[in-house]
Amino acid sequence: MKNTFVLVLYIVMLASCTSSSKSDYVVINFFEEKFDEFFSEKSLEIKDYTTLETTKESIIGENPKLIIYNDYYYIFSISTKKVLIFDKSGKFIRPVGITGRGPEEYANADDFCVDKKSNNIEILSFQEQKIVKYAFDGTFISSIKIDGHSFAFAKMDDGKYLFSKGVVADSQIGNAQIYKTDESGKLIDTLLPVNNNAVKVPINENNFQLSNDKVYFKSWFNSNIYLVTKDSCILSAIVDFKDHKLPDNILEKNPNDFMQQINNISYYSIEKYLENDRYIYLFISSFDYKHFFHILYDKKSKKYRKSSLPSDSIYMGLEYAKELNSDNELVFISDINTLYEICSIKGIKSINKKAIPQQTSNSDNAIIKLKIKDL
């Protein structure tokens, strides 16, 4: 849940793109007083769940990345640094690739994507500055070297790559939050420029938010969400945190003042952003990671649903939604015990808890779909 940093430092970007485009962006009022409860029978119901087979090779751990494609679940385990494939019934198929130092291997995985044109799985290694490509059956295809170090990436429909820069201020590549390469990994453009004095230490965070075949970028430590297309970078949404945000000029401070402001401001951070034609979903954390918020904004009715959760809430077992699909379903990954407990309390409309299997040595986790109900 908590952002991982090589060093706990923060940056603020300039609110512009090198390839800018005018847009009608949405403003989400974090302190909106009129809202319905997010975790309630009125708002959500458990539509379906799929238990995932657990083996020695398929340990998922906390806060995994999920891609659903062609009736398969592709899950990136943050703890084991492996990409795992499960079929639609939850049966574990295989891990993808081999860790190692060989030409067909990767030393460490930091992010992955599924190329929906080729069905290949592509794995990013920050350490080796390369992407390794594998076929669905695990066969090695090729690898490409990339300019610069990156912890996260996305692949566009035209084959170009977007990378979230691990080192933001970089005189060789350019001072920007995003850099774009061609299919061979060569730099062709930078987006979201930053000040020359921006921090020059590696920052590990997945800023790309993939939702309904669109690529959104959650800019570092402010409230802006951008839609990235092959031609432009468009401001799509702003979360209005009022006074609970980092100041825009924080990078102009000397190191002592910089850290003092970081430690003294009660700010909020966007952890997850998902969007479809009807809704915007946000998961937000407080600066001290003691309080968390699920927010659902209805673009049609302009209504809000919101739940504020302490860190020990049973709903925190769901972490945050991994996907908001076109059927208006939020998809979560959770351990089975959390699913069972949620079905035991008064809250979201749930399935019969008697139908849920007990957590066993061969089934620890489940894919859970929560249907958004019209208000």
182 occurs within a structural domain: yes
With respect to residue 10, please indicate whether it lies within any of the assigned structural domains. no
How confident is the model over 119-139, as pLDDT tens digits?
Answer: 999 999 988 889 999 999 999
- Residue 9 within a domain: no
pLDDT tens profile 35-60 = 999 999 899 998 889 999 999 999 99
Question: Is the pLDDT score of 8 beyond 70?
Answer: no
Does 132 map to a domain?
yes
Tokens describing residue 244: 């609970």
Provide the number of structural domains found in the chain. 1
CA 110 to chain centre: 13
Residue 19 within any structural domain of the chain? no
Range from 45-54, 99-108, 189-198, 234-243 carrying the lowest mean pLDDT: 189-198
pLDDT, tens digit (0-9, with 9 covering 90-100), for 251-269: 556 567 767 777 888 889 9
- Residues 6+ away with beta carbon under 8 Å from 143: 103, 104, 130, 131, 132, 133
For residue 130, being part of any structural domain is answered with: yes
Range of the domain at 356: 26-372
Please report, for the domain that includes residue 198, its CATH number: 2.120.10.30
CB 195 within 8 A of CB 174: no
13 domain-assigned: no
In a domain, 225, yes or no: yes
